[in-house]
């Protein structure tokens, strides 16, 4: 077996995924020929980052939400492989995602589109279940993208981050405090490379 055939089934390097996501983001928004709003770029990037990996179910959106999101922001449809629903086997993860979604929706900026708010809250809640920095789990370019997104849609969340915490840690803490629970890691935090930095005692 040649080296080429050994590698044929391997996933593309991260850089390839980033380039594919950027190109798909442009295709969804019609760039550069058509002007696009910051919100259109954001949702296209969030969708594209998962679509190019075959991971659309990880966004937590239904087929109807994908279709409505596309009607609001995209010039072409999301792939027909978009899921009708996403079912989590872990009941604690499902409960966390449901609670985080409701928490974020309650803190939404009044000027933000309610349907966009619900979609974004779902996407963020599901990203908190994955084991990396929030910006990577969302498929964004860095922490600044997350900050800008939260300032636009959930400014109260940004206002609460007076210590400059990592966003996933901050979200998990604020959700716990809002529900009267003891603050701790989000479900995805233990798998992150910086878990020991954020949670030196492991909780």
**CA dist list (Å): 121 to 59, 104, 108:** 10, 6, 9
Q: Exposed e or buried b for every residue in 162-193, given b needs 16+ CB within 10 A?
A: eeeebbbbbbbbbbbeeeeeeeebbbbbeebe
- Give the model's pLDDT for residue 79: 82
**pLDDT tens digits, one per residue of 32-89:** 998 899 999 999 999 999 999 999 999 999 999 999 999 999 999 998 665 656 678 7
| Whole-angstrom distance, CA of residue 35 vs CA of residue 43 | 15
The backbone torsions φ and ψ at residue 183, rounded to the nearest 5 degrees and listed phi first, read -60, 145
CA angle 30, 34, 20 (to 5 degrees): 30
**pLDDT tens digits, one per residue of 135-162:** 999 999 999 999 999 999 999 999 999 9
61-66 LR contacts (CB < 8 Å, sep 24+): 61/86, 61/119, 61/122, 61/123, 65/118, 65/119, 65/122
**pLDDT tens digits, one per residue of 157-173:** 999 999 999 999 999 99
- Give the model's pLDDT for residue 81: 66
Residue spans of the domains in the chain: they are 14-87, 89-203
Residue 7 scores a pLDDT above 50? no
Average pLDDT over residues 110-121: 98
* Mean pLDDT of the residues in the chain: 90
Residue 5 scores a pLDDT above 70? no
């Amino acid at each position: 077996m040649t080296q080429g055939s050994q590698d044929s089934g391997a996933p593309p390097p991260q850089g390839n995924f980033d380039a594919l996501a950027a190109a798909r983001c442009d295709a969804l928004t019609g760039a550069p020929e058509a002007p696009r709003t910051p919100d259109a770029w954001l949702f296209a990037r969030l969708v594209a980052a998962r679509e190019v990996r075959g991971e659309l179910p990880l966004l937590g959106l239904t087929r109807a939400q994908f279709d409505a999101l596309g009607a609001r922001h995209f010039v072409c449809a999301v792939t027909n492989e978009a899921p009708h629903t996403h079912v989590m086997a872990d009941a604690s993860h499902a409960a966390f995602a449901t609670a985080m979604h409701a928490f974020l929706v309650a803190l939404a900026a009044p000027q933000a589109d309610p349907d966009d708010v619900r979609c974004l809250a779902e996407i963020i809640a599901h990203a908190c279940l994955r084991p990396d920095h929030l910006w990577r789990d969302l498929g964004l370019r860095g922490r600044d993208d997350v900050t800008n997104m939260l300032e636009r849609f959930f400014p109260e969340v940004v206002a609460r981050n007076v210590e400059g915490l990592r966003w996933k840690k901050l979200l998990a803490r604020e959700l716990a405090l809002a529900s009267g629970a003891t603050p701790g890691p989000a479900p995805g935090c233990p798998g992150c490379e910086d878990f020991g930095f954020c949670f030196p005692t492991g909780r």
